Each structure stands twice: as structure tokens, then as C-alpha cells.
Amino acid sequence: MRFGQREIISHLSFEIFPGECFCIIGPNGAGKSVLLRTLLKLVPCTGEIIWAGDFKVGYVPQKVELDMRLPVTVDDLIAAKRNVSGATRSDRDEITEALDLRKELLGARIGQLSGGQLQRVLIALALIGRPKALLFDEPTANVDLPGEEHIYEVLNRLQKQYQFTLVIVSHDLTIVDRYATRVLCLNHRGLCVGKPREVLTSAALEELYGSPLKYHWHDE
Amino acid sequence: MAATSVYSIVLALLTAVAAGMVGSFALMKRMSLAGDVMSHIALPGLGLALLFKINPLVGGAATLLLGTVLIWSIEQKGTLTTDVAIGVIFTAALAAGTILTPSEDLIEALFGGFQPLTLGWFLVGVAGVALVIIFLALQRHRLMLTILSPELAAAQGINVSLLDLSFLLIFSLTILLGLRSLGALLVGALIIVPAAVGRQIATGLTWFLTASSVAAVVSVAAGIIINLAYPQVRIGNMQLNLALGPAITSVAAILFLVSLAFKTGD
């Protein structure tokens, strides 16, 4: 993958299996978001990306371009996604309910939402139309309000409910430990792929982040 | 009043409806200044057409089309030099347009006015307005998703760059429609100022579009009345020129000031 002359990612090959929670980790600037955008075929690459069959993908962006002071409501965004994806009203209602987007929240201007609420709206947008895979970029960039269901618990619950494949870009090794079925370590090239506890050794983490780092696995 | 003048007024009001809607999306796409750039690009076309005695709007359309492609290609590159490029194009087009336009037509080309309109051109204009409104009605959801996040839109299978180009073409068409009454210097105002009013007072996309269109129609209607009743006003030694474009723009600006008092949300 290149931006102009600059090569962002090379020597990378991996598979993602249906229904798994696949995490992509790596230091800042390693090309994680670029990889996600490549999977969406937004960035040209010289390699090959094969999605099985007619694969519908939902994408939760790291940040939105929309000016938050605009008079746009949550409902406007939901209606847009429903119309473009051809989803039914009942499908929409089911998903907004699953994400606890209540009526008063739907009528709110997007500027009135907290970071956590906006994130739930973005997840709802991605899920309307029932994609087979959900691509999620840096979900911890926004913080939840205390008392709200943690965004990963929401994702985990929805994944069980709707059986989609989840691909997450994350910094947070705790998340990887708790939810990932497999993990890809990325630093301009693929360093390791596999089950978190098998591949994330201190040596692997040091190679990935460039400094000695030890992660203590928490046993529940 | 002659039928040709009625056509002219009706088309100006219909154009206002379209301009309010286009402006709302342009404001959301952060391309408020594009209106000014585009209208200035139209000026050399108007000038050339006047020189060669063809319909000025044909000349304007030709250069606008060129400008659209130019701005689109700048957008596609998305480099930091965008505002520099726009600044250069803007002023160069104004200079070239002023040089080319015959001096007896210059004021009207810059600031707008009424020329009587034949039934044929009136119908062409109405078709143009219809095209703008139908495009926005059909594409509003796609535009909304693209404005929210181009990546999200692309993941949904929307061809973002094609949609951007289509929107720019519709935007240029709206400029072209407003060019007659507002002139090249001020037609951008008909697109952006009413949308700024709508943004202040509305909640929800439908209300935003409606409020912007209403603000545009009110501005045009009031501007026409002012221009017809008092084309020039003398206060003491001061002579005020209430040409059509400045009259419409002033009303729109006053509406914007008033709308600040009714600000919702934020």
C-alpha cells in the first residue's frame, strides 16, 4: 500500500474468519487505519483483497467529517443510512433499540451528543442494512460516560446477537485480551498473526512497539 | 407588466428555492466559498459571449463547466494548497472577466439586474431549477452519509467522487440560474447567506432545507420589490444604488442578523 511514493504497508498477508473478533494492533503511524481503509477498497493496493461472496461491510469511522454545529439530527443520519442501504423500518427500530438510542436521542442535534452516544449512533449506522462484517477504527478515541455500558460490551453483545465478523483497530491490549479471537500485529508490515496469548509475547511486543513492554494477562 | 418581466421574476423566485437547498448542502460540505469562486469564473464567459454577441449565459455555462472540473480536481487531490489555488483562480477570473466584458454591460454582469426573459429561456430556466431540486431530493441521503464520513459512504457502496462531481455540477447550474438577477459578484450570496440563516433557526435536515429556501425566496422577493420601487434613493447628498443583486444580498444579510437572535441548539 502506498500514498504517492511513500510505502505504508508491505509484506502483509492474513485471513479473517467469519464470525470472529479480529484485532489489529500496532504503534501510532503503523498503518492500522490505512489497512482498514484498504479493506474497504478506499486505498489502492498492489496485493489482493478477497471478500467471500457478496460481502456487505459496515464501517465505524474513527472521526466524522460533519461539522457538529450543524442542525443535523441523529434521525437524519439514521434515515440516510436506512434509505441508502435499503433496510426496513423494523430493522432500523431493532438496531436503534439494541443500541439504546431512545426517542429523545434520535431527535437530538448531533452536537448535543456525548462521545459515547455519538459512538453508539455510528455503530447503529454501520449495522443498519445488516452487514456481514463490521470494521471498527479506534473505538477508544471517544470516552464513555460513567455508568454507560462499555462500548466493547455493546459490540460483544451485538456480535453474538447478529453474528457478524468484527474487525477492530485498537491500542488497548486489555480489549485484545478480553475480546479478540485473533490479533494482527502491524508496524508497516505484518509482524505476527494468531491467538492473542500465543503471539503476544514480550519479545513480540518489544518488536512491535520498539521498546521493552510486558503485558500481564489477566485471568478472569 | 410585460409577460417577459413576469417570467424573469418567477424564474428568480424559483431559483431561490433551489439555491436555498443547494446552499444547505454546500454549507454542510464546507464549501461556502466555492460559490464565489464559481460565480467569478462565470464572468470571463459572460464577457466573451457579450463580445461575440451570443447569449451570455451560454458563455457563462461554458466557463462554469471548466471551473467545476477545476475545483473538483483540486478537491480530489485534497492538498493544503487548495485555498491558494482558489484565491488565485478567483481573482484572475475577475480580472479577465472585467477586461473582456464590454463596459456598458459590466455593471449588470457584476451586480445583476432584470432583462426581460423570453418564454423559451424561461422554460429552460424552470427545467434547470427542476433538475436541481430533483437531484437533491433523490440524492439527499447519499449526500448526508458522504458529508458525515466519506469512508462510511464508500463502505456503503457510494461512489463518493462521482457524487462530489455531480453535486458540483448541480451547484454550478444553480449559480448559472442566479447569475442573471444577482450578477457574478453576488450570486454566491444567494446560495450561502440563506443557508446560514437556515442553519441558525432549524433543527433537522428537512427544516434546514426548508428554512434556507424560504429565506432565499424572501430575500429575492424583497430585493425585487425594493429594486422596482426604488432603484435609486437619495438621502441628502448621498445617492444609494439599489441594483437587484445588492438589494437581494442586503435583505439576506439582514435576515441572517435577525436569525442570530433565534439561534437554536449548538
> Would you give per-residue pLDDT tens digits along chain A (220 residues)?
444 455 667 667 777 888 888 988 888 777 888 888 888 877 777 777 777 766 788 899 888 888 888 999 999 999 999 999 999 999 999 999 988 888 888 999 999 988 888 988 999 999 998 888 899 887 555 555 555 567 788 888 888 888 889 998 887 777 788 888 888 888 776 777 778 777 777 777 777 777 666 666 665 4
A75 interfacial to chain B (CB closer than 8 Å): yes
Residue B158 C-alpha cell reads as 457510494
**Chain B positions touching chain A (beta carbons under 8 Å):** 27-28, 30, 140-142, 144-145, 147-152, 154-156, 158, 198-199, 202-205, 207-208, 264-266
- Residue A13's pLDDT is 77
B161 contacts on A by Cβ (under 8 Å): none
The answer on pLDDT for B84 being more than 90 is no
Map grid coordinates 464501517 to a residue: A59
Three-state SS for B237? coil
Residue A78 contacts residue A96 (beta carbons within 8 Å): yes
- pLDDT band of B196, cuts 50, 70, 90: very high
How many Cβ atoms are within 10 Å of B263's Cβ, its own excluded? 10
pLDDT in tens, B159-177: 998 999 999 999 999 999 9
Q: What is the pTM of this model?
A: 0.87
- Residue B80's pLDDT is 47
Domains of chain B: 3-188 (1.10.3470.10)
Q: Using CA atoms, how far apart are residues B46 and B184, in angstroms rounded to an integer?
A: 9
Short-list A184, A190, A180, A129, CA closest to A155: A180
Q: Using CA atoms, how far apart are residues B266 and B264, in angstroms rounded to an integer?
A: 7
Residue A176 contacts residue A200 (beta carbons within 8 Å): yes
Nearest C-alpha in B relative to A68 = B266
Positions of E strands within chain A: 2-3, 6-7, 21-25, 57-60, 133-137, 165-169, 182-186, 190-194
Nearest C-alpha in A relative to B144 = A80
Nearest C-alpha in B relative to A74 = B204
- pLDDT band of B2, cuts 50, 70, 90: confident
Candidates A57, A70, A111; nearest CB to B155 = A57
Give bridge partners of residue A3 from the DSSP assignment.
A6
Residue A43 C-alpha cell reads as 486505498
The answer on pLDDT for B143 being more than 50 is yes
Candidates A65, A67, A126; nearest CB to B150 = A65
- pLDDT band of B148, cuts 50, 70, 90: very high
- Residue A216's pLDDT is 64
CB pairs A-B closer than 8 Å: 89
The torsion angles phi and psi of B97, rounded to 5 degrees, stand at -60, -45
**Helix (H) / strand (E) containing A171:** none
Q: Using CA atoms, how far apart are residues A136 and A166, in angstroms rounded to an integer?
A: 8
